[in-house]
Amino acid sequence: MAHAQFDPTARQALAALAVEAKTRKDLSWQQIADVTGLSVAFVTAAVLGQHALPEAAAKAVAELLGLDDDAAMLLGTIPTRGSIPGGIPTDPTIYRFHEMLQVYGTTLKALVHEQFGDGIISAINFKLDVKKVADPEGGERAVITLDGKYLPTKPF
C-alpha cells in the first residue's frame, strides 16, 4: 500500500543521513542508482526526498548506504515535494518551471557538483533551446536544453 508524508521533516532528515552515508562510503549517485535499476536522476531525487522509491529499490538503497529498515520504509513513502523555499509564481508556464526546480533542483545541484566540483552553471555564458517534438504515446513533448558554461569556484 502506498503511504504519503505530509510533513517534509522526516524525509529531509533521512536525506541528510543518506547524503552523509553516500559521502562516508564515497559512492556516486550513479552507483546508488545502479542497485535499483532506475535512472540516476530519479534515484537522486528520491534519496533527496522528492520521490518515493519502489520497495525493492528502497531496500537496496538502504542496504548500500547502511541505513536501517525504518529508513528503507521511509524511502518508499510519497513525499511532500518541494525542496526550494520561496515565493510561488502565479503565471502558469513560469509556475511549471518553478515546480520542476522544486522537484529536481536539489538533484541537479547534486549531480552538477558531483560531476564538476564546486562552482556554478553560468546564466550569462548560456544557451537555451526549446523544441516541440512528437510524443510516441500521442500528443507533443517539449524538449528544453539549458546549456551553460561551468564556472568553478576559485579560492582567493
CA distance 96 to 5: 22
Active site residues: 96, 99, 122
Give Cα separations from 38 to 22, 52, 53, 133, 154 (angstroms): 17, 12, 9, 24, 35
Strand (E) or helix (H) holding 150 = strand 140-152
Are 83 and 101 spatial neighbours (Cβ–Cβ below 8 Å)? no
Residue 79 DSSP label: P
